[in-house]
Structure 1
């Protein structure tokens, strides 16, 4: 239940390079780069709801059950099927173009997205 709550982005590292590599349009990168993304997470047993809220233009929700394939949306709105697992307290999902690992460390939500050698790291505080 450590992920449950409302989180606000504090820092992002490697955002532009990562987004360009996975094919996000430059106008979306520019628009979203400096916004304080809000992430809302709910959990009921192995069932999660993970919502990203962009302050000025959009939001989307991924609902998943640990260990079961589900429909997901990624950065830029791409849709695909994925299976999210919990391993050593981390939520791990393989998206078509990248790997996403979410964890709680020092009371912060840390989201690490890796595509090849390019890494984007988003740190969020609980609000």
Structure 2
């Protein structure tokens, strides 16, 4: 199934613990706890543009081609280089402090971010 489309957060597991591990302040965690993150994805072959829309009109856009190293940015504005890999229909990438996997399962966008034993699992529905 294609990743392309507009997705809205439906559920999150491990949100607060994951954010704390990344050093996000408690007040920011609270403001984002129930926020319905919007993710917009376009796909042209192996090239993706992945935009996440956060509160207060903040957005982060990363464009990457599967298998090629590219410049990316985190929500906190940290820039880094990463190579996104497609493995069995899953997109995986290693960010500075965690490993991230995205897949389409049951018609939903399922994103799993793991840092050590702490896991954030976000499930989004297509809108």
TM-score for the superposition, normalised by structure 2: 0.94
Structure 1 residue 55: Cα displacement = 4.1
Gaps (5+ residues) in structure 1? Answer: none
TM-score for the superposition, normalised by structure 1: 0.94
User: Matched residues in 2 for 1:115 and 1:75: separation?
Assistant: 16
Cα RMSD of the aligned pairs, angstroms, is: 1.2
Partner of 1:105: 105
User: Matched residues in 2 for 1:32 and 1:39: separation?
Assistant: 15
Say if 2:94 is the partner of 1:94: yes
User: Matched residues in 2 for 1:43 and 1:116: separation?
Assistant: 30
Structure 1 segment 43-122 matched on structure 2, within 5 A: 43-122=43-122
Q: String of CA shifts for 1:64-103, please: whole Å, max 9, x gaps.
A: 0111111112243322111101000000001111000000
Gaps (5+ residues) in structure 2? Answer: none
Assess, with a 3 A threshold, how the Cα gap between structure 1 residues 16 and 37 changes in structure 2: closer, same or farther: same
User: Matched residues in 2 for 1:99 and 1:11: separation?
Assistant: 20
